[in-house]
Structure 1
Amino acid sequence: MAANPIPSVLSFSAATTLVREHAASLRFAYPRKTEILGLAHALGRVLGRPVLADRDQPPFDRSTRDGYACHVSDLLTGNAIPVTGQIRAGDPIEIPRAALVAGHAVEIMTGAPVPLGADHVVMFEHVEHDPEADTIRMTPEQLQNHPPESGANIVPAGAEARRGDIILHAGTRLVPAHIAAAAACGASLVHVYAPPRVSILASGDELVDLDATPLAHQIRNSNSYSLAAQVTAAGGHPHRLPLVRDDPGSMQSAIRMAMDSDLLLLSGGVSMGKYDFAAESLLALGAEFFFTGALIQPGKPVIFGRLPQAGGMKYFFALPGNPVSTMVTFALFVHPLLCALAGDDNSVPRFVLATLGSTVKAKPGLTRFLPAILSGGIHPQVNPIEWQGSGDLANTAAANCFLVVPADRGALEAEDVVTVLLN
């Protein structure tokens, strides 16, 4: 094998920092393409152009409560105030824009325009209403418990946004709240970044295709499917390529065929075994390596680098062949870079804190990611599951997260506050 230009195995922190630096550089160096989608089909996509407010929001002074629009000075007298009308949400704007006469009140509903001159909306339950006289008043007790303030329960016109303001910036990955905000602006069509194309190569003489009947010494190629699912969830377009056999010629030929994509993912052949040819094949094609391993388990033999191509360089990751290692290294390293290719410059692995349910022992030296179950709502608790290592898909499928054991810890105790990597 040719000499490795950067034979570096980095700490977890150093490896993630390096990937994020490269991901950040794509904001300026990667020629992203956009396409137009209907808003109803844009969930999860990344905006390529901002969404602007097409008018002031709200377009009128809006009531935030059901009650009575009135003057604070009239309420403070404690005297009866005649109710001279009603305004509902959706009423023509000419009705509420009529000036409110001093000493009077207007019944108003949530979302309705506030009449000119009113400086307060008092809630129904904070006044006494005389239905026969159709008047309202605040009792001394109500005045003490709910003193009226100017502007209370009213959102002024344009307080949320002015016409032409940016409501959603380019680079925003659209979630339901963003869809609602865009809909409020009348953005029936949005410009989004085209999903990056990701080539997926799985290697190994022991692998067979999904629909094949494996012999006793063979296993099905699950990694191509798990990687394709993770690519799709991150906003990419996966392209699963045929299985690659364990020899340098086949590997190099497959890599050349995969170069028409935006990102290349290899699975398998990255360890130190006699028939692990991924690194050798990549180097033979002129690859530049940024790291050749990370001090984590599972997933230590992970490679990050880029290959030369016409007009620039193409990033690649060579991931371990064990299925759980493949999923963990994708979540930690591939996901941020792929999201950057998709136009989302702010995506990072998702970590949360939780209380550990039971003691966990581990050898220090590696940052470990153990399949676990997170439960408990706003006070989450995490419990690792029993598993047989990074090839154990059956038990890992029961997990919904990974418990993180720091490299400098030999054990975590029950009730410790720990870090959890979300799937």
Structure 2
Amino acid sequence: MSFSEARARVVHEVSNARQLPPVEFVALPSALNRVLAEDLRADRDFPALDRSVRDGFAVTAAEHPRTLRVAGEVRAGGVYEGVLPPDAAIEIMTGAPMPHGAEAVVMVEHVTRRDNVIDVPAAAAGQFISRRGEEARQGQVLIQTGQPLYFGSVAVLAAAGRTMVPVYRQPRVAILATGDELVPVEATPLPHQIRNSNAHALAAQVLRAGGVPEILDIAHDTLEHTAALIERGLQADLLLLSGGVSAGKYDVVEPALAAHGAHFFFDRVAIQPGQPLVFGRARGTFFFGLPGNPNSTLVTFEMFARAALELLGGRSDVALPWLTAELAEPFQHKPGLTRFLPARVTEGRLHPVRSKGSGDLPALARANAWMMVDAARAQWAAGDHMPVILL
């Protein structure tokens, strides 16, 4: 199964089966990175009145230069009482409401002032004025249901007067790392052992994607122990397993899942790293069996499992955030599989990070992106553009 086919299958299956999570209300500062559960509508026009977008003088429109007297001042947060006479100007600050009768703003830099008299150039009607409602009208949807809330969204929520924000409950994600070689991160490993880095890296990815991670005990390479921990993991909204999904003698994840009545949608994808990727559902819970090599685990979460998690969290759009970057040097790779390789993007220039393979964690620490390598192509020249996802 190709990369695009497998990803489309994930989105299709989860979209068709999901039920939107319960709604909860959080205080405005806590809304960051949550998913909005109700359309946010403007409680008034934005802006609420005509306002100046420059420091200068509010004047009537004219096709020729004039000399005008300064009849007053209005600042942001204030109001000019009265109507602007045609032979006068009102000094005005950025963000201040336009006086009645004023039709344009002349920037202070374009004015010559002598005491209370100014010489102004021609001024077109509407010049440097933000009109009432030009940003949004009262009742207009400002942020749609299902959108993640970023810092700009928090500003819009505050401007609309929302102190408590309706958001979807965050999905609970169980993380189960498998393998007799694994020990807890606080342990001192023997030469034949490794620390359980995958579970903690996945927990970080889950947090960033809007989930609540729960790291389960390490599963031994036995069917019974793995199946027992899977039973606990299936109580979550999503189960992520790391390791044990290849064709080796002690790769018991698929049989252990099958013992719980799992339905498998696929168990292999034409990508590297991450070829032996498992996706399915058991007892109503979706699961991913991610390959155990660290880069494979992280890549397959980001390219596949993240979409499932975001959908389960109520998001309406789970498209991958592809960017393009220009190769800083020639690059070649064996065709046949879609590859995701560690890279570094600096000022728009793409530098592949040399790696010893999918188990090379230090290479990932030097990277700030994954570059996607087309399965049908073998060579790229410096200056070619390639798709990347920033880490």
Shorter-chain TM-score above 0.5: yes
Match of 2:359 in 1: 391
1:13 to 4, 11, 33: 4
Distance of aligned partners of 1:216 and 1:66 in 2 relative to their CA distance in 1, 3 Å threshold: same
Q: Deviations over 1:291-344 (max 9, x none)?
A: 11111111000011111x2xxx21111000111100000010011111111122
1:330-349, aligned counterparts within 5 Å?
330-349=301-320
1:50 to 39, 42, 58: 39
1:325 aligns with 2:296: yes
Q: CA separation in 2, counterparts of 1:185 and 1:304? A: 42
TM-score of the two chains, using structure 2 as the length reference: 0.96
Match of 2:146 in 1: 171
Q: Residue 52 of structure 2 contacts residue 98 of structure 2 at CA under 8 Å; is this kept in 1?
A: yes
Secondary structure, counterpart of 2:234 in structure 1: helix
1:357 to 315, 322, 328: 328
Secondary structure, counterpart of 2:204 in structure 1: helix
Match of 1:5 in 2: none
1:101 aligns with 2:85: yes
- Counterpart AA for 2:275: K
How many equivalent residue pairs?
391
Q: CA separation in 2, counterparts of 1:420 and 1:11? A: 18
Q: CA separation in 1, counterparts of 2:81 and 2:266? A: 67
Q: Deviations over 1:381-404 (max 9, x none)?
A: 111122211111122211111122
Q: CA separation in 1, counterparts of 2:205 and 2:181? A: 23
TM-score of the two chains, using structure 1 as the length reference: 0.89
CA apart distance, 1:199: 0.5
1:192 to 138, 146, 167: 167
CA apart distance, 1:158: 2.4
Q: CA separation in 2, counterparts of 1:242 and 1:68? A: 69
2:371 to 400, 403, 408: 403
1:14-413, aligned counterparts within 5 Å?
14-25=5-16, 29-73=18-62, 76-91=63-78, 93=79, 96-131=80-115, 134-138=116-120, 142-143=121-122, 148-307=123-282, 309=283, 313-376=284-347, 380-413=348-381
- Counterpart AA for 1:358: E
Q: CA separation in 2, counterparts of 1:185 and 1:354? A: 37
Secondary structure, counterpart of 1:403 in structure 2: strand
Q: Residue 198 of structure 1 contacts residue 263 of structure 1 at CA under 8 Å; is this kept in 2?
A: yes
Distance of aligned partners of 1:24 and 1:135 in 2 relative to their CA distance in 1, 3 Å threshold: farther
Q: Residue 46 of structure 1 contacts residue 173 of structure 1 at CA under 8 Å; is this kept in 2?
A: yes
Identity across aligned pairs (percent)?
A: 44
Q: Deviations over 1:78-135 (max 9, x none)?
A: 33112111111122x3xx252212222111111111011111111112233222xx22
Q: Residue 23 of structure 1 contacts residue 345 of structure 1 at CA under 8 Å; is this kept in 2?
A: no
Which runs of 4 or more aligned residues in structure 1 lie more than 6 Å from their structure 2 counterparts after TM superposition?
none
Distance of aligned partners of 1:130 and 1:414 in 2 relative to their CA distance in 1, 3 Å threshold: same
Q: CA separation in 2, counterparts of 1:195 and 1:403? A: 29
Secondary structure, counterpart of 1:294 in structure 2: coil
CA apart distance, 1:77: 4.1
Q: Which moved more, 1:313-322 or 1:341-350?
A: 341-350
- Counterpart AA for 2:21: R
Gaps of 5+ in 2: none
Gaps of 5+ in 1: 1-9
CA apart distance, 1:359: 2.4
Secondary structure, counterpart of 2:205 in structure 1: helix
- Counterpart AA for 2:7: T
- Counterpart AA for 1:420: V
Q: Deviations over 1:210-267 (max 9, x none)?
A: 1222122111111110100000000000010001111111121111111211001011
- Counterpart AA for 1:104: A
